[in-house]
Structure 1
Amino acid sequence: MKRKMQYCKQLLLVPFMLICFAVQAQESTKILTFEEAMKVGLEQNIALRKNLNQLSALSMQETQSKIDFLPSVSANVQAARQGGQQFQLVEDGFEINNVQANRLSGNLSASVDIFRGLGRLNQIKMADLNYQAQRSAIERSKQQVVFDIAQQYLQLLLDKKLMEISSNAIQDQKNQLERIKGFVLTGLRPQADALAQKATLDQLELSFIETENTYLLDKARLAQTLQLDLLEEYEVSEAFGSASTSLEAYQLSELFELAIQNRSDLQQLDLQRQATNKNIDLLKSNYLPTLSAFYQYGTQYSSLNSLGISEQLFDLYPNNTVGLNLSIPLFSNYVNKSRVATAQVELANSRLDVEDLKRSIFQDVQNAYLNFNAAIKRVEVSESALNSAQEAYKMQNERYAEGIANLSELSIAQQALITAQANLEQAKFTLLFQQTILDFHTGVLQVETLNQ
C-alpha cells in the first residue's frame, strides 16, 4: 500500500516538474526588441568600428595640422670620453698632447616657419575636409547597419506570421479531418474523402516544417549579424511600426532632391573632392619660396680645461645664434609638377564619382518609389482577395456539410484561403520592406523612424 502511495506521488510530481522546466525555459529565452537589436548592431558592427577608429586617426591629423603653426623646439645633450692627440689650453696658448678627456656638450634649438607658400592653411583645410568626409562615411555606415538589421528583423517577423498561419491551417485541417471521419462513419461520405483529407493535412505539416526551418535559418543569420551567442535562445518582439501609405507625400522629384540633400555617402564624396582640390593647392605651394626663423643656444665642457664645469658651461663656452633661412626652389626634377598633375587627375576622377553616384541615387530612389507604390496596391488587392477567399471557403464548407459540394472543391477553397492569408501578410511586410528601402536610398533612415 505504501509503495502504491509513493508511486502515485511520483506520478503527480512528473507534470509539476514538466511545468517548472517549461517555465524555466521560457524565462531563459531572451526577448530581443527592435531597439535592443539596433543598439547591439551599432555597437558590434566591425565595419562601423573600423570607421570610428579611422575617424580618431583623422582627428589627430587635424589637430597636428593646426599645431604645425607653433615653433618646433628640440634639445640635445652629448657626453663622451675622447683619447689621443688633442689641443689643450695652457697659459701661453695651445699645445698638442696625447691625453684622455671627458667632454660634455648641449644645445637648445628652435625654429618657426614665417612663410611656407600658404601650405599650412591648405593643410588645415584639407585635414578638416577629410575629417568631415569620414564623419559622413560613419553616418552612412550606421544607416547601412540599421538597414541590414531592419531587413533581417522584419524577415523574422514575417517568418513567425507564416508559421502562425501554417499552424492555424493545420489545426483547421485536423478539425476538418475529424468531421469527415464522422461523415464516413455515418455513411454520408466515402472513405476516400478521409484519406484525401489526411494527405492534405500531411502536406500542410510538411509545409510547416519548411517554414519553421526558414525561420530558424533567418534567426541564426540575425544572431550572426548582431554577434550574439549562437547557443543563446532568443525571440524577436513583434512590436514594430507600420509603414506610411500617403502617396501624396512621395513624389519622385521631391524624393530625389531629398536624397541629394541627405545622402551622407554623396556628402562624403563631395567632401573628398574638396579635400583633393585643397591638396592641389598644398602641392602648388612647393613652387614658392619658404622663409623660417631659427634660434640656437649651445655650450660645452672639457676636462682638459682647468676651469670648473659651471664656469665652462655658463661663462666660457655659451653661444647664441639667431637667424633667418630663405629657401627658393629652382629645380626639383619635376617632382612637384608630377605630384600636382597626379592630384589633378584624382580631382577629375572624384568629380566623375560624384556625378556617377548622383545617377545611381536617382535610379535607386526611382526603383524604391515604384516598388513602394506597388507594395501599397498589393496590400489593397491582398485584403480584397482574402475577403473573397473567406467568403468562398465559408460557402464551400456549408455546401460540403450539406452534401452539395465534394471534397475537391472544399480543398481548393481551403488552399485559396491559406494562400490569401499568407499573401496578405507578405504584402504587409513587403510594404514595410519597401518603406525601409525608400528611407535608406533617400538618406533619411533612422532607428526612430522605423519603430513608430
Structure 2
Amino acid sequence: MKYLYKLIAAFAFVITISGKSFAQDTIPMSFQEAVQMGLSQNIDYLKLLNQQEVLKVERLNAQLNHLPRLNLTNDNFRQIGQQFQQVEGELIVTNEINNIVSGRINANMPIFNGLRRTSETRAGKDWEDAGKFGLERARQEVMFNIAQQYLQVLLDEELYNIAVENLDNQKKQLEQIEGFVEAGLRTLSDLYNQRSEVARLETVAIDAKIQWESDLWELAETLQLGPNILPLPEQVALEKFESEWLNMPLNELYDVALEQRKDYGQQMYLERANKNLLASAKSAYMPQLNVFFNYSTFFTTLDDRTFRNQFFTIFPQRSFGFSLTVPIFNNFDNRAAVVRARVEFQNQQLDKSALERRISQEVKLAFENFKGAIRREEATRLQLEAAVEAQTVISERFRLGVSNFVDLSQANQQLVTAQSDHAQAQYSLFFQDLMLKFALGILEVAKN
C-alpha cells in the first residue's frame, strides 16, 4: 500500500511539472525573488511591520507629552422640574423647563514631575529603535529559512537527475548484457541481476521525485503561493569560493557578531527602554507641580437675556494657577509600579545575557560547520573523480569479459554515491556560508 501511494504521488507530480500544465502552474523565480515574495507574504514579518507603526506613534506620543494638554468641552441639556432662582435677595423655587448650554476650555501642563516625561520620551525612542532592529533580524530570518528550503529543492532536483541518469545508464547496460547472453559471453545470472538492479533504480528514481515534490510544495506553502501553483527555482552559483571569515580567530568573529547582530542590538535597546521606564516609575515618589488654566461659561433659558450676552459677556469665568501634589501614602501603588518596572529591567538583562551566550555558541558552530563543509566538498570532489575513473575502467573490463557483474555493480553504485555526495556537499557549502553570515548578523537582504 505504501509503495502504491508513492507511485500515485509520483505520477501526479509528473503531470504537474510536465507539458502545458507545467508552464501554467509554475512561477520561475530567482533566490532573491523568492526572498522578496517570502517577505511580502510572511505573517510574522507583516505583524512586526504593523507593530512598528504602533511603536512610532508611541514615540511621538511621548515627545508630545512635553506640551500642554488642551481640551474643549460643550454640554447641551434640558432640566425639567424645580428650578432655584435668586431674585432681589430672595430664593424663588419654580417648576420650569430650563435649557442650558455650557462650554469649558481646560489647559494643563506639568512643570515638574520627577523627570517622568523625559524618561518616557527616551523609553519611547528606545522601543522604536528596538523594533527597527527586530524587524531587520526578522528579514534575515525569513531569508535564512527560505534559503534552506530553496537549496533543498535544488538539491532534490539534482539528486533526482542523478537517479534518472543512473537508471538510463543501467537500462543501456541491460541491453548490452542481453546481447552478451545471446552471444554466450555472459550467464543468465548476470542478466537477472541486472534486471533486478534496473527495477531497484526505478524505485530510487520514484522516491527521489516524491522527495523533490514534497519539498517543492513546502517551499510553495512558505511563499504563500496560490492553489496548484509551484515555484520554479533557478540554479544558484555553486563554484568554489573563499571566505574572509576563515582567517579570523573565534574571538574576533564573536565581536563582529555582537556588533552586527540585529537581535543583540534589539536587546540593548530593550534594556535601555526598561531602564528608562524604571526611572519613570520612580518619579512617582517625587512631588508633582502643574500649571492650569480654565475658562467656563453657560447660557440658560431662565434668563431673558440673549444667548450672546449671557454666554460671552455675563457668565464667563476664568481661573488659573499652580497645582502641587506631594505623594504621602497611596496604598503602595507607586511602590508596586517601581517593583514591576525593576523586575522587567532585570529580566531584560537576563535575556541579553542569555542571547550573548547563544550568539557565542551559534558563531562557533557555524564557523566549524563552514570549515567542515569546505573539507567535505574537497573530499567528495576527489571521491567523484576517482569513482568516474574506476567505473570507466571496470565497465571496459566487464565488456571484455575480465571483470564480473559484482565488480561492475559496485563500481556503478560507488559512482552514483559519489555524485550524490558531491552534490550534497556543494549545496551544503553554499548553505553553511549563509549560516555563518546569519550567525554573524551580516546576511544582506535585498530590499524592494
Choose from 94, 98, 119 the match for 1:98: 94
Counterpart of 1:334 in structure 2 is 332
Amino acid at match of 1:316: I
Cα distance in 2 for partners of 1:22, 1:273 equals 55
Show structure 2 runs of 5+ residues with no match.
1-16
**What secondary structure does 2:106 align onto?**
strand
Work out whether 1:281 is the aligned partner of 2:300.
Answer: no
Any idea what the Cα deviations from partners look like across 1:70-113, whole Å, max 9, x if unmatched?
A: 211122222333344433354x4444132313332222221111
**Residue pair 1:289, 1:329 contacting (<8 A) in 2 also:** yes
Cα distance in 1 for partners of 2:153, 2:384 equals 23
Cα distance in 1 for partners of 2:159, 2:305 equals 99
Counterpart of 1:18 in structure 2 is none
- When residues 44 and 327 of structure 1 are mapped into structure 2, their CA distance, relative to the original with a 3 A threshold, is same
Counterpart of 1:428 in structure 2 is 426
Counterpart of 1:257 in structure 2 is 255
Counterpart of 1:344 in structure 2 is 342
Any idea what the Cα deviations from partners look like across 1:242-279, whole Å, max 9, x if unmatched?
A: 56334744532222111111111111111111111101
Amino acid at match of 1:96: I
Name the stretch that deviates more: 320-329 or 68-77.
Answer: 68-77
Counterpart of 1:204 in structure 2 is 201
Counterpart of 1:27 in structure 2 is 23
Choose from 440, 443, 447 the match for 2:438: 440
Amino acid at match of 1:380: E
Counterpart of 1:9 in structure 2 is none
**What secondary structure does 1:405 align onto?**
coil
**What secondary structure does 1:96 align onto?**
strand
**What secondary structure does 1:245 align onto?**
coil
Cα distance in 1 for partners of 2:248, 2:299 equals 83
Any idea what the Cα deviations from partners look like across 1:306-346, whole Å, max 9, x if unmatched?
A: 32222222222111111111111112222212322232232
Choose from 55, 75, 78 the match for 2:75: 78
**Residue pair 1:260, 1:266 contacting (<8 A) in 2 also:** yes
Counterpart of 1:213 in structure 2 is 210
Any idea what the Cα deviations from partners look like across 1:354-411, whole Å, max 9, x if unmatched?
A: 1221111111111111111111111111111111111111111111111111111111
Cα distance in 2 for partners of 1:26, 1:107 equals 72
Cα distance in 2 for partners of 1:226, 1:353 equals 31
Work out whether 1:235 is the aligned partner of 2:232.
Answer: yes
Matches within 5 A, 1:411-426: 411-426=409-424
Matches within 5 A, 1:3-402: 24-28=20-24, 29-90=26-87, 92-100=88-96, 101-240=98-237, 242=239, 244-246=241-243, 248-402=246-400
**Residue pair 1:79, 1:103 contacting (<8 A) in 2 also:** yes
Cα distance in 2 for partners of 1:233, 1:342 equals 50
Cα distance in 2 for partners of 1:250, 1:227 equals 40
**Residue pair 1:34, 1:240 contacting (<8 A) in 2 also:** no
Larger radius of gyration: 1
**What secondary structure does 1:331 align onto?**
coil
Cα distance in 2 for partners of 1:179, 1:241 equals 36
Amino acid at match of 2:32: E
**Residue pair 1:133, 1:267 contacting (<8 A) in 2 also:** yes
**Residue pair 1:105, 1:299 contacting (<8 A) in 2 also:** yes
- When residues 383 and 95 of structure 1 are mapped into structure 2, their CA distance, relative to the original with a 3 A threshold, is closer
**1:25: Cα distance to partner?**
3.7
Counterpart of 2:3 in structure 1 is none
State the identity %: 35
Amino acid at match of 2:94: N
Cα distance in 1 for partners of 2:254, 2:205 equals 42
- When residues 186 and 250 of structure 1 are mapped into structure 2, their CA distance, relative to the original with a 3 A threshold, is farther
**Residue pair 1:244, 1:435 contacting (<8 A) in 2 also:** no
**Residue pair 1:243, 1:432 contacting (<8 A) in 2 also:** no
- When residues 243 and 353 of structure 1 are mapped into structure 2, their CA distance, relative to the original with a 3 A threshold, is farther
- When residues 369 and 114 of structure 1 are mapped into structure 2, their CA distance, relative to the original with a 3 A threshold, is same
**What secondary structure does 1:374 align onto?**
helix
Cα distance in 1 for partners of 2:80, 2:396 equals 120
Cα distance in 2 for partners of 1:233, 1:79 equals 64
Amino acid at match of 1:302: T
Cα distance in 1 for partners of 2:153, 2:172 equals 29
**Residue pair 1:111, 1:295 contacting (<8 A) in 2 also:** yes
Cα distance in 2 for partners of 1:221, 1:26 equals 18
**Residue pair 1:224, 1:230 contacting (<8 A) in 2 also:** no
**Residue pair 1:364, 1:441 contacting (<8 A) in 2 also:** yes
**Residue pair 2:84, 2:94 contacting (<8 A) in 1 also:** no
TM normalised by structure 1 equals 0.90
**What secondary structure does 1:418 align onto?**
helix
Cα distance in 2 for partners of 1:84, 1:199 equals 106
Show structure 1 runs of 5+ residues with no match.
1-20
Cα distance in 1 for partners of 2:69, 2:240 equals 60
- When residues 440 and 243 of structure 1 are mapped into structure 2, their CA distance, relative to the original with a 3 A threshold, is farther
**What secondary structure does 1:231 align onto?**
coil
**Residue pair 1:111, 1:293 contacting (<8 A) in 2 also:** yes
**Residue pair 1:372, 1:434 contacting (<8 A) in 2 also:** yes
**Residue pair 2:78, 2:100 contacting (<8 A) in 1 also:** yes
Any idea what the Cα deviations from partners look like across 1:145-189, whole Å, max 9, x if unmatched?
A: 000000000001101111111111111111111111111111111
**Residue pair 2:437, 2:443 contacting (<8 A) in 1 also:** yes
Amino acid at match of 2:120: Q
Cα distance in 2 for partners of 1:243, 1:126 equals 47
**1:302: Cα distance to partner?**
2.2
Aligned length: 428
Name the stretch that deviates more: 22-31 or 181-190.
Answer: 22-31
**1:26: Cα distance to partner?**
4.9
